[in-house]
Each structure stands twice: as structure tokens, then as C-alpha cells.
Structure 1
Amino acid sequence: MADVGVRAARREDVPAVTATQIRAWKSGYRHVLPEGPLEQMTGPSAEEMWNRQWDEAVVSPPTRHHRLLVAVETEDLLTSLGGGHGGPGGQRVVGVASHAPAEDPDLDPSTTAELLTLLVDPDHVRRGHGSRLLNATVDHLREDGFATVVTWVFADDKAMLGFLTSAGWGPDEAERILDMGRPVRMIRLTTDIS
């Protein structure tokens, strides 16, 4: 039996955050993104870059409104004695969420935040980690005075679209087309948290 929770990321979590991101992207985006760009985003050189970026996010975020949260499982004593794959304090990072003031030019960053990342390790999906991360993100953003949250989602990422729609998010008409060897459409979702 493992205890679960969400907390602020620590510097020692950075390798696990990067590993979670890469595993989630490889699993979740394999039918969404072309193979070449996905490999570039998840390969060894990308892993080094993500480690540096997540380290910076933990150690020196641009503002106090930039946060990196992790979902963790804390294994009980018997499991951790036999397991050995936990992190600090026997905690294993199984999900990650990050948020910041919105940067899109049509949004007011004093009232609108952006959910930048919401990922759960593929071996730990459907255990409530995504919901806990989303709820913790909203709690922090409300405390910081934000009224609205947006996020960008690949239009073909049916799992994420379904999850966020069921949590009360909806499209706001904004979209992007990324050139990844073929056009990849993203849509912006929004929710009111006031």
C-alpha cells in the first residue's frame, strides 16, 4: 500500500521529473506527434536539456507565481525495504505539473495563468494523480489571485482533452499549428477558477 500526495518539487526530484516527462511523452504522444520530432524531444540530448530546465524551474523560478509540483507515492516500510526505486524520503515521483502567469498576448497575466505541464507516468495513470495535480495547481493559483487558467493541448490528444473537459475546461477558439514535418494542431483550453 502506498500513500499518495502532491508537493512542491525539490532539486533532488529533477531527474525523476525529467524521466516522468519523457516516459509520459513517449507513451502519450506516440500517436499524436511524428516519430522524428518525438524522438528529438525525448532522446538523450533532450534529456540533458530538460534536466537543466527543470533544475532552473526549481532553483530559480522567474517569479513566485511559477511553480513546479510533483505527485508522489510514498511506499510503506515493507515495500521500500524490498523495492529500492523510491526517491527522497521513500517518495517516488509519478506525475508533474507546472504553471505560470499566462504569456499569450491576448491574455492578462495578472488574472490569467497557464498550466504549462500536466503529466503522469504511464505506469501510474488512472490512480488519481492527474486530478490531485490539477487540484493543487488550482489551489495555488487561487491563492495567488488568478481567476482563469488556460492550457495548450494537442488536438489529437484525446486522453488529455477528455480529462480536462471532464474537469470543466473548454476550448476558447485559440489554436496553433506547429510544423513538425507535418502540421500538428494545438487548441487552447480555459477554465474559470474564481
Structure 2
Amino acid sequence: MADAEVREAVPSDAAEIARIQLTTWRTAYTELLPADVLEGLDSAAAEQEWREALRDGPATVLVATEGSWVVGFCAAGPAPEQEVAAANGSVPPDAAEVVLVSALLVEPRWGRRGHGGRLLGAMAERLTATGATRGIAWVPEADTASMTFFRSVGWAPDGTVRTLDAGGRPLRELRLSGPLELQFT
């Protein structure tokens, strides 16, 4: 494998981040999302949203590189109260120390090379330095690759479930939770 690194994303990475997001969703989520939803994803709009996120925050975005290629990214930041609350609306005592991993994607052709682990590991280190102790991520229940990955670092479903409207098709997501002191297996 060529040189693999993780670095903080900059606004000029927005086009590559959007391309990776759309390519990954169109490849990995063909069974989860309706074809018209996947076909309707707008690359220019996605690029603009990422450019704004990289410029204005509040999430931290890291990119994984292999050689000169950007191959994946991770976005995470403080978890909004509604994201960390239990199904009954109660907020856990550690809510202020919880971060939301809102995106962790590696382009499929670069998968299984350790990029996801490097991204989440580097993100966990950064967020721990800010006082965060626990992370959460919403993962489609049928996304076995992501479920397996998060379980491999010590994260597990915490019992909270949500169902999104994915172009008229329900998409059931499980909230995974785990320590930021990752335990890769």
C-alpha cells in the first residue's frame, strides 16, 4: 500500500468529499435507498454543502489519503441534544461529552485498507482532547459493513432506533454508541 495518512480537510477538499459521498452511497446503498433517490443526488449541491461545512463548522472533518488520492472522510462534532437523548426524551448525564460521528465513508474501491480505522482513530484523538468521552453514530440497520466496522472498535447499538423517510421507503437506523478510547479488534 502507498503512503496512507489522515489530515484535516480544507475547503478545496469539498469536491472530492462530495464525490466520495455520492459514489459510496450509489455503490453501497443500492439495496437501502430507492434508485431515483440515488440518481437524484446533486453533486454540485453536495460540494457546496461540504464547502460551507468546512468553512463554517461546527463539525471537524478529516480526510484519509493514499498517495495523492483522497479516499475517505470523517465528519464529527458535538452531539446535538436531540441526537443523544434517549427514546423517551431524557438526556444522559454525559450529554455534554458526547460527539456525533455524522459521516464516515471510504470510497469502496479503497476499502479494506485500514482507512476507516485511521479516520475514526484520528477523529477520536482530536475529540478526546476537547473533553469528549463517548461517540454516537446513526447507521442503517441493513448496512452490515458499517455495523461490523463500528462493532470492531467497541461501539454497539444502544437501544435507540429511528426511521427516516428515504424517498417514500422507510430506512431504519440504529444509534451506535461507544467510548472514544477505541479498541480495534
Superposed pair shares fold, TM > 0.5? yes
TM-score, with normalisation over the residues of structure 2?
A: 0.87
- Displacement of 1:110 in angstroms is 2.0
Which residue matches 1:171? 157
Which residue identity lines up with residue 33 of structure 1 in the other structure?
Answer: L
Task: Determine whether 1:114 maps to 2:104.
Answer: no
- Displacement of 1:132 in angstroms is 0.4
After superposition, give the CA deviation of every residue in 1:55-103 in whole Å (9 maximum; x if it has no partner).
Answer: 11211213xxx201000112xxxxxxxxxxxxxxxx2110010001111
Give the Cα separation in 1 of the matches to 2:15 and 2:21: 10
- What secondary structure, in the 3-state scheme, does the structure 2 residue paired with 1:127 have? coil
Give the Cα separation in 1 of the matches to 2:164 and 2:102: 17
Task: Determine whether 1:72 maps to 2:65.
Answer: yes
Which residue matches 1:39? 39
Q: CA RMSD in A?
A: 1.4
Which residue matches 2:88? none
- Displacement of 1:36 in angstroms is 2.1
Aligned residues: 171
- What secondary structure, in the 3-state scheme, does the structure 2 residue paired with 1:71 have? strand
1:6-21 matches, within 5 Å, as 6-21=6-21
Which residue matches 1:147? 133
- What secondary structure, in the 3-state scheme, does the structure 2 residue paired with 1:156 have? coil
In the alignment, structure 1 segments of 5+ residues that lack a partner are 75-90
Give the Cα separation in 2 of the matches to 1:179 and 1:16: 27
Give the Cα separation in 1 of the matches to 2:38 and 2:53: 23
After superposition, give the CA deviation of every residue in 1:130-173 in whole Å (9 maximum; x if it has no partner).
Answer: 11001011111101100110000001101100111111110011
- What secondary structure, in the 3-state scheme, does the structure 2 residue paired with 1:187 have? strand
- What secondary structure, in the 3-state scheme, does the structure 1 residue paired with 2:125 have? helix
Give the Cα separation in 2 of the matches to 1:96 and 1:149: 17
- Displacement of 1:109 in angstroms is 4.7
Give the Cα separation in 2 of the matches to 1:136 and 1:8: 10
Give the Cα separation in 2 of the matches to 1:172 and 1:39: 33
Which residue identity lines up with residue 103 of structure 2 in the other structure?
Answer: T
Which residue identity lines up with residue 133 of structure 2 in the other structure?
Answer: A
Which residue matches 1:84? none
Which residue matches 1:77? none
Structure 2 CA distance for partners of 1:109 and 1:58, relative to 1, 3 Å? farther
Q: Which runs of 4 or more aligned residues in structure 1 lie more than 4 Å from their structure 2 counterparts after TM superposition?
A: none
Sequence identity of aligned pairs in percent?
Answer: 36
Determine if contact 1:101/1:109 at 8 Å carries over to the other structure: no
- What secondary structure, in the 3-state scheme, does the structure 2 residue paired with 1:191 have? strand
In the alignment, structure 2 segments of 5+ residues that lack a partner are 86-90
Give the Cα separation in 2 of the matches to 1:93 and 1:19: 10
